[in-house]
Amino acid sequence: MTIDQNSHFLTAEQHLLTPYNLSAPQLSGVFGEMFGHRLDAADLYFQFARSEAWSLEEGIVKSGSFNIEQGVGVRAVSGEKTAFAYSDEISLPALLGAARATRAIAAQGGSGRAPLLTGRGVPALYVGTDPLASLPDAEKVSLLERLEQFARAADPRVTQVMAHIAGSWETVLIARSDGHLAADVRPLSRVSVTVILEANGKREQGSAGGGGRFDYGYFTDTVLKEYARLAVHQAAINLTARPAPAGEMTVVLGNGWPGILLHEAIGHGLEGDFNRKGSSAFSGRIGQRVAAKGVTVVDDGTIADRRGSLSVDDEGNPTQRTVLIEDGILVGYLQDTLNARLMKVAPTGNGRRESYAHMPLPRMTNTTMEAGNRDPREIIASVKKGLYAANFGGGQVDITSGKFVFSAAEAYLIENGKIGAPVKGATLIGNGPDVLKRVAMIGNDLALDPGVGTCGKEGQSVPVGVGQPTLRIDGLTVGGTG
């Protein structure tokens, strides 16, 4: 199925060109102005976005925000040099002024070419419905109130509930000096809940939520009840948890959201810019074994409705399924246009930017490890003594060394092949490339995260997805409190 590309272009024209008396021929003229100097490539990135967020606490909506953002970014590339200018004013004079500013990186005597801009159809990954308009404001408040009620009904020990709903609707138009024109209409919504349980003088917190590229109609009472149940379960488990042990041990990672460890410890190190500059632990290792047999890692921006998916990236290239590690062998990196050209490979549709005011960088979309053939129960049963990490909180990674530190939000001891007592304070410490080689068993239960991930890089934040099956990792260092 292919989106009616005309509808995307019509929406983009309606919000980004027509109100400012701009047309495709005028955009071509801007490139002619830029290419009066010698440049390798240039692009224009137009964006219109509106977003909102509502927060409820103690039964009252205590905060709310609404934002409209629009503007255009102008980029010129010559060799390894990039010039970038942006304006929140969309007009022909502003475009021409930004175009002239970017010429500073190039020598005079260019072609002055003005490309003929044409667009192409793209796969249909999500419906461009505006989440903000999908519910009246009173019903958004009602949604948050029901979520709080579901959480309180799940356990009498709940003393505090914080519920959040957020949505955005974004239209982008990308024009490139090679004549390519692309447009995309991107919805995004998310609901989350955090609860605090109190018993016997102890307090613990639990969180859950989800979302994706759809409107608020996704969040039925059935979905909200599940978010409430998961948040309360996490807090209740930690109320009875004992201090986590420390030392080197076998660790089993649960499926789904624990893939955030894969994203941070391994995924960033596979982005093209780090590898072109030689600053990644994976630099220069294409064709080498970097993981245990059976480990296959992919980045896929084409999964329907997923938080990390894009019909086209922020350089106008269609996203794709990119295999990074295949059966333990490193086979590729994630590439934007600039790094792909300098590394003499094809772009992979991973050029992403936070907004028109930022330059694109190679970034992940939905990064997962593919399923193996082991039953998760078999994996647990194979461990005499170890740790089962069912869910994660925050973490940090050093791209150059690959070293990471992650805290487990929900974890249990494994004793004699069975999941035992819950523990808290467990921290996983290791090295991304080393951990890949320690993967001993891979489950058949691949799951994606519920749609909550946001990735930061060089000051830019973008929505992403992660996923993995249940994994057994041997000899991982656990920092504990017991």
**44-74 pLDDT, tens per residue?**
999 999 999 999 998 899 889 999 999 999 9
Residue 62, pLDDT score: 86
Least confident of 106-115, 381-390, 464-473: 106-115
Note the pLDDT of residue 6. Answer: 65
Cα 16 to Cα 183: distance, rounded to the nearest angstrom:
11
For residue 123, the 8-state DSSP code is B
pLDDT at res. 8: 82
pLDDT digits (tens, 9 = 90+) for 87-126: 999 999 999 998 888 877 766 656 667 777 887 767 779 9
300, 447 contact by CB (below 8 A)? no
**Alpha carbon distances (Å) from 150 to 117, 153, 165, 230, 231:** 52, 5, 15, 11, 11
Average pLDDT over residues 234-257: 95
Instruction: List the single range of 36-50, 157-171, 229-243, 376-390 with lowest mean pLDDT.
Output: 36-50
Mean per-residue pLDDT, 373-392: 97
Task: Print burial letters for 355-389: b (CB count within 10 Å at least 16), e (below 16).
Answer: bbbbbbbbbbbbbbbbbbebebeebbebbeebbbb
Measured CA to CA, the distance from residue 201 to residue 203 in angstroms comes to: 7
Q: What is the Cα 233 distance to its own chain's centre? A: 26
Residue 160 has a CB neighbour count (10 Å cut-off) of 16
Give me the amino acid identity at 17: L
DSSP letters for 447-474: EE--S-EEEEETTEEEEEEEEE--EEEE
User: What is the rounded CA–CA span in Å between residue 103 and residue 113?
Assistant: 14
Residues 6+ apart with CB under 8 A from 158: 151, 152, 195, 196, 197, 232, 235
Q: Give CA–CA dist 431/296, Å, rounded.
A: 18
Q: Taking 90 as the threshold, does the pLDDT of residue 359 lie above it?
A: yes
Q: In which region does residue 29 sit, left (phi positive, over 0), alpha (psi from -120 to 50) or beta (all else)?
A: alpha
**Which element (helix H / strand E) includes 40?**
none
Sign of CA dihedral 349, 354, 359, 364: negative
Angle between helices 137-154 and 221-239 (to 10 degrees): 40
CA distance 146 to 59: 10
In this predicted model, what pLDDT tens digit does every residue of 298-340 receive, in sequence order?
Answer: 999 999 999 999 999 999 999 999 999 999 999 999 999 999 9
